[in-house]
Every structure is written in C-alpha cells, then in structure tokens.
Structure 1
Amino acid sequence: MTLESQPTPFSSLDDYIALPRVEGLALSPDGQRVVLTVATLTRDQTSYERALWSVAADGSGVPTRLTRSAKGESQAAFTAAGDVLFVSGRPDAAVAEKDTEAAQLWLLPAAGGEARAITRLTGGVSGIAAVATAARSLVIAADLLPSAADLEAEGAARKERTEKKVAAILHESYPVRFWDHDLGPAEPHLLAVSLADLHDTIAAPTINSEADAPAPYPADLPRPRDLTPTPGRTMDTAGQALTPDGSTLIVALRVAEQRSGRYVLVSIDVATGTQTTLFDEPKVDFESPTVSIDGRQVAFVRSAVSTPDGPADQEIWVADLDGGHPRRLAAEWDRWPSSLVFDSPAESPADSSQALIVTADHDGRGPIFRVPLDGGTPEQLTTDDFSYTNVSVDAQTGAIVALRSSWITPAHPVRISRSGVITTLATPAALPVVPGTITEVETVAGDGVRVRAWLLLPAGASMQHPAPLLLWIHGGPLNSWNAWSWRWSPLLAVARGYAVLLPDPALSTGYGLDFIARGWNSWGAKPYTDLLAITDAAEALPEIDESLTAAMGGSFGGYMANWVAGHTERFRAIVSHASLWSLDQFNGTTDNSEYWQSIFSAQGMIDNSPHQAVRDIVTPMLVIHGDHDYRVPIGESLRLWSELAEHHATADGSTQHKFLFFPDENHWVLKPQHAVIWYETVFAFLDQHVHGANWKRPRLLG
C-alpha cells in the first residue's frame, strides 16, 4: 500500500497530539444512529476532553455534537427507549457543593432536552456495567467503603476521611495495586438502577434535623440497589451482561485464592440479589459473558490457567441461561477471542441462536468472524488489513457496526452489511494524511516456522537512498502489531526518515497456540531469534540501510530490548521503556505477582532474566519509566540504571546511556505534554547514535 508523501500531522509532535481521536462507539436500539466518544486536546495541551457525537448508522449525513462540558463525557450506552447514558464529572445543578469531582451517571433524553444526572453517589460511578435492551433497567459499577451500611453512611464516611485528610488504606488481602492506582479502601460493587424510578419533579431542599446526620439520598433519583454486598474484590469482574428484560445479571465474578483468584460465572437475580453459580472449575477462568437477544442463552470464554509447561487455550462456550446444555464452539479453531456478541440474522432478527460474532487476532490483523452455534467452522467476515473493536449487531437488520483501525488508519466507525459491504460512517475525527508506505515482510525461523511483520517505509526510501531501520518490539507479550495506537505511533518515526519494522515473534497472538508455545517459559529464546531473523529479512531489502539499525520496545518489548542489549552488538541504539530487567525482583513487586510466577519455572526465571547479561552490554541505551507504573514497577529501571552505571560508567560517572524518568506517569505515559517529551528524547537519542548527530536535549527537560 502506498501512502501520501505530502506534509502530514506526523511531522510535528504538537500537530500529532492535537489530532482528535475516536475512543468509543454505541449503537442505538433501532439501529439508526451511532454515538461516538471523541477525545480532543484541551487548550492548554496538557490533557484530553471527551464529548459525545451522533452520526447516522447508514453512512449518511454529518456528525452532530451531543455534549459539551469542561469535565467531558465517556462510556456512552443506550437505554431501551433510545436515551443516551454516559458517565461524567460535569457539575450537577441540583448539587449544592460545586467542587465535587465524583463522576456520575447521566441521561440524555432521546426526545431532546438537557442531560440530567441520575445518580448522586458520594464516591461517584466507576462505569456502566450492563444495560437491559428491553427494559428500563441497568447495572452500574461503583466503589463503596466497606464499613458503610448504606449509601448515606458511605457518603458520611467519605466526607470524614476527606475533612481529616486521611489517605491510609488497610489491606486484608492481595492484591493492593492495579496498573496505575492503589486499591482500596473502597471496594467495587455492582448496583442495579431502575429508570422507572426517575422522576421529573422539582425537589425541595433537604434539611437535616440533626447537624451531624448523613444527607439522605435524593428522593427524585432512582436509588441504586446493591447486588453485591460485602464483595471484597470479587466485583473486579471479567465482564457482565444483563438479560433483555433486566431480570438477570450474568457476571464473571472473581473468587479470591491466596494471592490470586479465578473467575467463575454467576447468575444474579436482580430483584432479590440471589446468586447462583453457573460454572466453576479449579484453575479455570470463565470470562466475557454475553447474553443472546432472546435472553435464553449465554456465551463466554473458558480458559484454563497457564503453567510453565505451556499456554492454555481460550475456548468459546455457549449454554442455556441457567447453565444447562454447555457446549464448546469451534474446538479446532485456535484463535483467541477478543470480543463476542450474539448474531442477529436479518431473516429472523429475534432468533440469535444461530451464531456468535467474534473478533480475534489473526495474521497481523483483527478480523470479525461468525462462529456458528451448531459447531460449524468459523467464517471470516472481514478480509482487509484492519482490526475491529467495539462491535455491535443491529438487531433490526443483522448489520454490524464497529470501529476499525490499522497502523496507517486511526479508529473510525464502519457498518458491515449482511452481504459484506463495508460503509465508512461520518466522524468528527477526520482521518489524517499519513507519510510513507506500508508492506509486509516475512521469513522462516530456524525451526521452520513463518514469522511476519509490518514494515513502514519513509517517502523516498530506495536502493539509492536507503532508510535507517527501527525495530519496534510490541508489549504483551500475548499481543500483536495489528491495530492503531495513539501511544505507540511508528508513523512519527517514518515522518523523520526511519523505516519501522513491527514484527510478531514467538508469543504473539493471531498465529495459533503452537506459535505462542514456541516462546513459553523461554522469552529469551525463540522470541529473540525470531526478532533477529525478521530484522535480517528487512535489512536485506534494497530500501534499508543495514548499517543503521536501532531497536526499541515497551513493557515486554522493553524486556526484549534489554535482552537484545545483552546478547548482540548489531544495533546502534536501544530504547527500553517500562521494561522488565530482573525477573526475580519483578515477579514479587508487580501488581499481579502470582500470575507472573506461575507462568515461569524457577529455572526459566533464571535463564530468561536480562539482568544477568549486563556486563555484555555495549550498545547505548535510553531507559524510560514512569513512577506510577505498578505493572512493571519503577524498581526495574532503577536497578537497570544502577547496574549500567556499576558496570559501564567511566571513573567520573559519565555514561553513554540515558534515563528518562516521569514521576507522575504510569505504564504508558499518557499526558500529551509528556508524550511530546517522550518522543523528542527518543528521536534525539536515535539521531545521536544512528546518524551521529550531536545530542540535543529537549528544551522542556531543563
């Protein structure tokens, strides 16, 4: 595929971070319109604000903005009546205290008019968990303090902690952190909300008869009803779905097990809160439940817990709503589902018993598949170079609406007809012109297995003007370079003259279970040799200057960057972001230690730890980490930096290596101004060591 060579937003980091981006999609019950969540850069360029936009689901018309507030809106969903639900921290005119930061659930009427808040929880709403498609009910997620007996007491307890500036948390179980935030003291709950209890009245001001009495929950709002009292961490769910009539909630509920836990499938009667376990097996997770349109069946993903002996498969199952007649679908299909919903055949929209619509990584893409419920072979519905997310099925026509993206096209909404015709829908986030060209490269590894990659080339790259090569290693490791990422943008490097290689080595998804198993419990073996083999293939192309090659990666990609640094001298520079360095240290300090220890044997942890090769590093390294990264804690890069200095610094302490540290960022570095500094530093470091340019310190680094 050839891309435009004209000036693009990727030539300027400021222009790049200012590009609007589509982050979510919701399809209306009648299939007529789509609501998009669109993020745009704030005026001070230090964050993104989000708004909801409406577009026609048939590809006609122009986008219409639905919301506008300083706090922004997200997590859009539709009620059965066509009203739009969303979560926002925007001010509520009915609240006396205007400085609250807690996000609430809001409703924008389909008939028109102002949006109104329909919850007033002191700690706010975490998200919309599930919405009934044929009733005025939904379930929300919210964190509540464990000592509170009701919503009023919960509000009072929060107020007291705030007033006394108490931030301490008492933990009585593991885990204590997740990705970038501390867990507790509040615990996750699922709360039922009936929109039938929402009244349009003029509420009289509430006056407490006792000065210290907790403020009563507003009488004009539907009172959230706790379906999960005293949950602990069990409501850190792996998905949930409501039956169309709103009577039953199917939840992938977490059952604690010493330092970890497994997910079991549970049915909750919304009226009574009674829980019934549908599926529960030792060392097996049941996740991602979805309910059929007729409310009679539930589909889910079943996966055994992986061990050092090998990765477990992720299986698609379907059963009656009460758990009866369970059966596995597509047993011979070894792709891992990333989402699943019931199909709605156009010829019989009410009968969703025929198939599931499933997305899965596949050969460097993320297609949509139809998986028959009769045990038939999955059918691939999309064959383009895109990955699909946020998939919804139009119950009226059976058409599919989704977001799709690739490495040259950001996420944008499309409609896929029953005949397979894809129509691009309107969007307020116009697709940007991108630089260079994109193609595929593949090779055969030493064990005879095919290894492939995307290769992006800058404009003008040729035999006469070969481009330097940047090997960019993906994270995960159970992942694939198959979809657009605003955080990792190879087009920024392409715009600066670099060719970028995006390979899927052993452990990557989309190539089958055996391909993943090639690198299991041996991250430094075939994943490493696959990377070198595909780099060889790319360097053999006439458009590539094989003498000017660098490598970089984040998370698992950072691990591999560290491993590469200690095992070869072929690269001119290496960038290691949020990397694993010493596995014995990492496995006890990450936010999910039991998992990481369970997938490595004791010897595998020793054999595959990059820190043991620190003395052999000769390539200049740029180490990058955020202090709020709890998945790969900062201690990894602190130790890496210390040991680089110990073994490679000169007598006066100077070194060719550099360490870029973000005190207030997490695993990804998300603030736009910090993303700019991240790329400025990376490109300055690459230019210094790949092109021999003088080091240019980014201005805002002081």
Structure 2
Amino acid sequence: MREEVESAIRDRVAGYFETIYRPGALHFNAIVHAVENAVSGAIAIAGPIYDAGGGFPVMRIGIVGPGGALALLSDDGANDTDPHWSPDGRTLAFLSDQGHGGGNFQLCLADADDLASRKASPVLIGEAVEAFSWSADGRRILIQTADAGADAAGSASTARIGSAAKEARPSWMPTVETGGHNNLWRRARIWDVESGVFTDLGVAGQNVWEAEWCGPDAVVAILSARPTEGGWYQTGIGIAPAEGGPFVPFATSDVELAKICASPDGRRIAVLQGRFHRTVALGTLVLYDRDGGKPVIPEVGAEISSLAWRTNSALFFTGFRTPGTVAGTLDVSTGVATIEWESAGTAGRKVPYASPVGEHALLVPGHGSGRYPHLLRVERAREEMVLDLATPAIGDLIDTIGSAEAICWRGRDGLEVHGYLMMPAGVVRPPLVAFIHGGPSHLFRDSWTFDNPLAALLVSQGYAVFFPNPRGSSGRGLDFASRVIGDWGGEDRHDVLAGIDHVVAHYDVDGARLFVTGGSYGGYMTTWLVTQTDRFNAACAIAPLSDMRSFFFTAHHPEFLEIYSKGGPYEVGGIFDTRSPLRYADKVSTPTMLIAGEMDRTTPPTQASQFHHALVLRDVPSELVLYPEEGHAAARLEAQIDQGVRVLRWFKTWEDRYGGDRRR
C-alpha cells in the first residue's frame, strides 16, 4: 500500500511538472528577455526550455512571427540568451555558450535577414561575457566580462563562471584555494565591430559589476575595489573615457547599487540604490547630472527594478507598487512619471521587467498566479497579445490552483505588512503552508508559481499557501527593507507569525495542520521558527542558513552577513550567537526536512547538514536531502520532481501530528 501511495504522489508531481514545463516540446516556460527591432518590428525573446530527457533548462532565443509563431534562433543544444538588435536593425547580437562549454558565454552576431548566418565575433580566452550593449551608432559594442572561475550570484551559483569549459580533471586531483577569489576580476572593454579591435577600460583594482554607455565618448560603471561576490555590497560609480583609461570616481553609496544607465547624450545618469541582492535588484531611483550637482530622487510611486532611456529626457522604468506591478516613463525635466501599464499580476522573472519600444510602446512579459507567461505589446494604453505560451493543460491546472488574493495584517508592533494567499479549489479547510521568500531583500509578487514551482505544486495538491512579505522585504522602500538590518529573526519572525494568525482567523484553513518552508533567507527563517515555536506540524528548510558563524567562513559573500546582521564572527554572545538557529537546536520538536544543493556557494550545504545532525542527535525527526548537481535552487528537472515528491510526502506524514483543530 505504501508503494502505491508513493507511486501516486510521484505520478502527480511528474504530471504537474510536465504541464508547466512541457519538456521536449521546445516550449518556453518563461520569458526572460523581449526586444523589438526598431526597423523591422521583429521581436526576439529569450527564455528557458527543458529537453525531452529532462536535465537542466537550456536558455533559447526565439523570434516571434505572425500569429505568435515561434522560430528558434538555433537548435544546437547550446544556451543562447540576452538578445539585442543593432540600432540599424540589421544585426542581432546575443550571448551563447555554443562551442565554449556550458555557461561560458561569448558574444555572437547574427544577420537579421538570415539569422542562421553568423557574423564575425570575438572569443575571449579565460573570460566569459556577462552583459553587453550597442553604441548608439552601432559601430561598437561595450562588453562586461568575468574571469573564468569567478562566482556566479544567487540561484545561478550552481558553478563558477566558465567552469564547465575547463578540461576534465583526474579524480584524484585536489582543489587548491589560496586567496579566495581575490584574483578573479570583472572587466569592461569596447569592441569595434568593423576592425575587431578591443579597447580596455579601467585599471587594476577596479572590478566592474555593470557598465553602460554614457554618451558616445564615455562609459559609466558600478565598481568595487574587491572582486569577490561580497565586494558587490561595497560599490561606487565611476566614469571612463571610451578611448580607454581608468574609471574616475563619480559617486559613492552607503547602500547597494544596480541597473546603472545614462541618457543617450551622457548628461544624466540613472541608478537604483537600496537594500537588495545582485540578481534581485529593487530599489529607489536616483538621478545624477554628469556635470555635478546634488543627486535627485524623483517620486515615481514605486520601487524600481529595471531602467532604460527612451530619449535624453524620457526614462522608462518598471517596478513594484504594492500589491502589483507598474511600468511607465519619467520625464526627467519635469519630474512627472506617467504609468503606461499596470497589473495586479507582474512582468519579468525574479523582479518586474518590461522593455521599451520607441517613445511610446513597451513589451510586457506578463504573468500572474492565475496566468501563464505571455507577451504583450502595449502602446498608448492599448494591449496586443503577441505571444501566449499557455496550453489547455495549463488552463486545467489554473482551475485547480486558482489565483492569489493580496492580504494585509499588522505586526506585533502595529506595522502594516502585506502578502498573498492561494487557496486550492474545492478543498474544505485545507492545511496551511507558510512559504517564506529568500533575501531578506526580496519579495513575493502575484506571479506564476510565485517564482517557485514548489509553491503552486503544494496548492495543486490541496494545500493553502501563505506568502508573507515581512519587514526587510523589497517593494516598500528603503526604510521598510532596512528594518531587518541588525534584527534578523526578530520582528520579521513576528510578522510571519502574525500573518499566520491572521490567515487562520479570517480564512477557511485548518489551524491544526500548519507547515512552514522557504529557501535561502526563507530557509533561515524556517529553521529559526522551529527553534522558537512548536506550532508547526512539520517544516522543510531549503538552502538554509542555520549558523551565522560557519556561514561567514564558508559562503562566497560573507560581507553580506556583516552588513545585514550588524555583527561579526568574533563577537561572542552577539547576533551571530543569539540569532543562529543551530544554537537553539535543543529547543526543536518539529519534524524538519533540510534540502540543499552540494554545489551551492551562496548558502553552503553544510548549513543544512549541521542542523539536521543537531536534530538527529536529539531524536527529532529529520531528513537531509542533498542534490549533487544543484546549486542555490533546484534547476534540473529530475531534481525538481524528486524534491516535490519528498516535500509532499514529508508534509503528508506529519499532517495529523496534532489532530483536532488548533485555531491559534
């Protein structure tokens, strides 16, 4: 009987992932980039596709034809991403790892009239291209690179940059580290398309995280003195002449910087600042005049996540305005922001994203909790469906999972807190799962699967899922995001618990069947909560941080923890002790599953194994699941299916742990 139940669970989980991914059907399950050719109107998109045999997703580029027909740029098994049309519309530039090893991206050029025809493009030895942009005249391309072996960020940290391109090593050969990654840099250079000549920018000691054109004669960049992943949290702005030379310091910041871009004439520089992480930037828009003067913070009524200049005075933006997503254009000369698209759902993948077209239109890769990814073209408030990726099976799934409701409650100190709730269709008083996001500077949006397939899987299997955005989350300004600084596991914990109380009191859920899960910071909060309360039937911590001190000495960005905790590893009795779940493992009675990827450098797998062994030593039910090929989040299809089966089985095992209805 147990084998039959196990088989039934696995079949349901596999069917769910078959529905949302359609492996082998050359089906885009998300739209990461979307750009329109200014001359021909052709639209290129990039997104992940799963092959029939499973494995890791492959990034592909598709060209959208009449009626939403999609033609793949290539079908050679390589990763292609980040398409950009040249200003004259004659060339499509993109990144590809074809022939270079998985993840070792190089710049490629294709003829717009014959996309199968490749033009000459550079191959950088020992470096991978992370980003690029055309000059306004289309004669040069600005390239930002990372040395092979440098760390990738966040959920991309399955491996180091370019590592897949290295020669196979004998099994006995040791891994040797000397000075961390202090010798692996990120750089900027300009490539002349016609001559093939490179012009290097910057000097030794200037690590380039982002670089964009600042008019035709200069480049503006976000820089750090240290090249390690933690150095990203300590950056400033510099400007270098396009003919080469050092970046001259232009501005400094006490908080994080991202998404820098300059007006076409180079007079104005826009950048985001705030509390966020490299792959999930969402912050306050700041405008600088290149000639000097005090920076300006315009009022746009949202936290911004993407920027692009339409003209010298018109700045396009996408952002989050609780509880939805907005896109619009700021007239920088008047300070007036015009919202051109708004939705209770969202656009873009990890943070809101849309792409401007000309002076008045935009491409919106939209989606929502009850809406599969699709592409809209919006012009003067008129929406046109360019591409709808949904299938009939997706429609059936949506009938089961419904859509999210935006909810609001107050923390124990009266602070207003927001989040979302998904209720499974046709289930009376379902069990409730609190699903906590990573970060802490991140947020849940009303998005497809809430940016985590496990979440919608739980709803499809009869669980109500609560998505809190406690203090410290992005989307509500610097003050709200900063409220977690120095107080990890403090009032943010109470915001989550108060939200659970609110849901149990006001919605038809079973208060006797409560669960908690989350990844990264959500994994930290999961392990922390089970040390503070026994109200949960079971817990599942994914990629957790369980001990701040050992995390500091093993993760690739220890500076992050110093900034966000206001503590340090050598302070005895400080926050590294008082807010580390491992220090309170003797208080845990909740059955807890720990899941991690063995390749994770953001929250190393030892964080999960330490907490697991601490519970086992005290006879607390625990299960440790380590995926050998995964990083900060499961990406391989087989691993996602297996993880879903294990989490469902774990929750089902402990669903009746308390019995009765504990509405508290």
Same-fold call, TM > 0.5? yes
1:595 alignment partner in structure 2: 560
1:604 alignment partner in structure 2: 575
**Matched residues in 2 for 1:100 and 1:559: separation?**
31
Identify which of 178, 201, 205 aligns with 1:227. Answer: 201
Structure 2 unaligned segments of length 5 or more: list them: 1-10, 150-162, 568-573, 659-664
Deviation at 1:580, TM superposition (A): 1.2
Deviation at 1:525, TM superposition (A): 2.1
Identify which of 426, 435, 440 aligns with 1:472. Answer: 435
**Matched residues in 2 for 1:164 and 1:561: separation?**
38
> Are 1:169 and 1:185, in contact at CA under 8 Å, matched by a contact in 2?
no
Q: How does 1:97-116 map to 2 (within 5 A)?
A: 103-112=105-114, 114-116=116-118
**Matched residues in 1 for 2:391 and 2:85: separation?**
25
**Matched residues in 1 for 2:246 and 2:254: separation?**
21
Deviation at 1:493, TM superposition (A): 0.9
Structure 1 counterpart of 2:132, one-letter code: A
> Are 2:237 and 2:252, in contact at CA under 8 Å, matched by a contact in 1?
no
2:606 alignment partner in structure 1: 635
**Matched residues in 2 for 1:450 and 1:391: separation?**
29
**Matched residues in 2 for 1:532 and 1:540: separation?**
12
Residues 445 and 543 (structure 1 numbering): CA distance in 2 closer, same or farther, change over 3 Å?
same
540-549 or 659-668, which deviates more: 540-549
Identify which of 253, 270, 273 aligns with 1:299. Answer: 270
Deviation at 1:551, TM superposition (A): 0.9
**Matched residues in 2 for 1:33 and 1:40: separation?**
21
1:360 alignment partner in structure 2: 319
Deviation at 1:254, TM superposition (A): 1.8
Q: How does 1:173-188 map to 2 (within 5 A)?
A: 176=180, 183=181, 187-188=185-186
**Matched residues in 2 for 1:102 and 1:290: separation?**
25
**Matched residues in 1 for 2:628 and 2:224: separation?**
32
> Are 1:622 and 1:658, in contact at CA under 8 Å, matched by a contact in 2?
yes
RMSD between aligned residues? 3.5
Task: Tell me, yes or no, if structure 1 residue 254 matches structure 2 residue 252.
Answer: no
Structure 1 counterpart of 2:414, one-letter code: G
**Matched residues in 2 for 1:591 and 1:91: separation?**
29
Q: Secondary structure, in 3 states, of the residue corresponding to 1:530?
A: helix
**Matched residues in 2 for 1:226 and 1:297: separation?**
24
Q: How does 1:534-553 map to 2 (within 5 A)?
A: 534-553=499-518
**Matched residues in 2 for 1:240 and 1:491: separation?**
37
Q: How many residues align?
A: 603
1:319 alignment partner in structure 2: 288
Deviation at 1:102, TM superposition (A): 5.2
1:87 alignment partner in structure 2: 95
Deviation at 1:128, TM superposition (A): 3.5
1:424 alignment partner in structure 2: 385
Q: How does 1:581-592 map to 2 (within 5 A)?
A: 581-592=546-557
Task: Tell me, yes or no, if structure 1 residue 688 matches structure 2 residue 653.
Answer: yes
Q: Secondary structure, in 3 states, of the residue corresponding to 1:558?
A: helix
Residues 430 and 108 (structure 1 numbering): CA distance in 2 closer, same or farther, change over 3 Å?
farther
> Are 1:317 and 1:327, in contact at CA under 8 Å, matched by a contact in 2?
yes
> Are 1:9 and 1:15, in contact at CA under 8 Å, matched by a contact in 2?
no
Q: Secondary structure, in 3 states, of the residue corresponding to 1:122?
A: coil
Residues 514 and 186 (structure 1 numbering): CA distance in 2 closer, same or farther, change over 3 Å?
closer
1:290 alignment partner in structure 2: 261
Deviation at 1:604, TM superposition (A): 3.3
2:424 alignment partner in structure 1: 458
Task: Tell me, yes or no, if structure 1 residue 615 matches structure 2 residue 624.
Answer: no
Q: Secondary structure, in 3 states, of the residue corresponding to 1:605?
A: helix
**Matched residues in 2 for 1:39 and 1:257: separation?**
29
Residues 574 and 144 (structure 1 numbering): CA distance in 2 closer, same or farther, change over 3 Å?
closer
**Matched residues in 1 for 2:67 and 2:249: separation?**
44
Q: How does 1:72-83 map to 2 (within 5 A)?
A: 72-82=79-89, 83=91
Structure 2 counterpart of 1:382, one-letter code: W
**Matched residues in 2 for 1:187 and 1:128: separation?**
14
Structure 1 unaligned segments of length 5 or more: list them: 1-6, 93-98, 147-157, 177-182, 198-221, 307-311, 345-350, 650-654, 694-702
1:412 alignment partner in structure 2: 374
Residues 192 and 681 (structure 1 numbering): CA distance in 2 closer, same or farther, change over 3 Å?
same
**Matched residues in 1 for 2:434 and 2:169: separation?**
52
Q: How does 1:470-549 map to 2 (within 5 A)?
A: 470-482=433-445, 483-484=447-448, 487-549=452-514
Q: Deviations over 1:232-254 (max 9, x none)?
A: 5x3341x2212464x42221122
Structure 2 counterpart of 1:107, one-letter code: L
**Matched residues in 2 for 1:11 and 1:241: separation?**
44
> Are 1:334 and 1:512, in contact at CA under 8 Å, matched by a contact in 2?
no
Q: Secondary structure, in 3 states, of the residue corresponding to 1:669?
A: coil
Residues 162 and 658 (structure 1 numbering): CA distance in 2 closer, same or farther, change over 3 Å?
closer
> Are 2:272 and 2:282, in contact at CA under 8 Å, matched by a contact in 1?
no
2:70 alignment partner in structure 1: 63
User: Which has the higher Rg, Structure 1 or Structure 2?
Assistant: 1
Structure 2 counterpart of 1:273, one-letter code: G
Residues 73 and 514 (structure 1 numbering): CA distance in 2 closer, same or farther, change over 3 Å?
closer
**Matched residues in 1 for 2:174 and 2:104: separation?**
17
Deviation at 1:481, TM superposition (A): 0.6
**Matched residues in 2 for 1:356 and 1:102: separation?**
32
**Matched residues in 2 for 1:338 and 1:305: separation?**
10
Deviation at 1:628, TM superposition (A): 1.5
The alignment's TM-score, normalised by the length of structure 2, stands at 0.82
Q: Secondary structure, in 3 states, of the residue corresponding to 1:569?
A: coil
Deviation at 1:498, TM superposition (A): 0.8
Q: How does 1:641-652 map to 2 (within 5 A)?
A: 641-646=612-617, 648-649=618-619
**Matched residues in 2 for 1:252 and 1:53: separation?**
31
1:122 alignment partner in structure 2: 125
Q: Which has the higher helix share?
A: 2
2:140 alignment partner in structure 1: 137
1:206 alignment partner in structure 2: none
1:217 alignment partner in structure 2: none
Residues 318 and 441 (structure 1 numbering): CA distance in 2 closer, same or farther, change over 3 Å?
closer
Residues 168 and 518 (structure 1 numbering): CA distance in 2 closer, same or farther, change over 3 Å?
closer
**Matched residues in 1 for 2:347 and 2:507: separation?**
33
**Matched residues in 2 for 1:185 and 1:255: separation?**
12
**Matched residues in 1 for 2:47 and 2:168: separation?**
36
Q: Secondary structure, in 3 states, of the residue corresponding to 2:609?
A: helix
Identify which of 174, 190, 193 aligns with 2:191. Answer: 193
Q: Deviations over 1:581-603 (max 9, x none)?
A: 11222233221112311332343
Q: Deviations over 1:392-439 (max 9, x none)?
A: 2222x4212232232333443222223x23333225565932223232
**Matched residues in 2 for 1:64 and 1:257: separation?**
39
> Are 1:38 and 1:429, in contact at CA under 8 Å, matched by a contact in 2?
no
**Matched residues in 1 for 2:632 and 2:93: separation?**
30
Deviation at 1:380, TM superposition (A): 4.2
2:37 alignment partner in structure 1: 28
**Matched residues in 1 for 2:168 and 2:539: separation?**
48
> Are 1:30 and 1:394, in contact at CA under 8 Å, matched by a contact in 2?
no
> Are 1:106 and 1:115, in contact at CA under 8 Å, matched by a contact in 2?
no
Structure 1 counterpart of 2:444, one-letter code: W
Structure 1 counterpart of 2:112, one-letter code: A
Structure 1 counterpart of 2:593, one-letter code: L
Residues 244 and 374 (structure 1 numbering): CA distance in 2 closer, same or farther, change over 3 Å?
closer
**Matched residues in 2 for 1:369 and 1:663: separation?**
43
> Are 1:329 and 1:375, in contact at CA under 8 Å, matched by a contact in 2?
no
2:50 alignment partner in structure 1: 41
Residues 286 and 661 (structure 1 numbering): CA distance in 2 closer, same or farther, change over 3 Å?
closer
Task: Tell me, yes or no, if structure 1 residue 394 matches structure 2 residue 375.
Answer: no
Deviation at 1:91, TM superposition (A): 4.6
Residues 313 and 641 (structure 1 numbering): CA distance in 2 closer, same or farther, change over 3 Å?
closer
> Are 2:128 and 2:147, in contact at CA under 8 Å, matched by a contact in 1?
no
> Are 1:278 and 1:323, in contact at CA under 8 Å, matched by a contact in 2?
no
Residues 567 and 472 (structure 1 numbering): CA distance in 2 closer, same or farther, change over 3 Å?
same
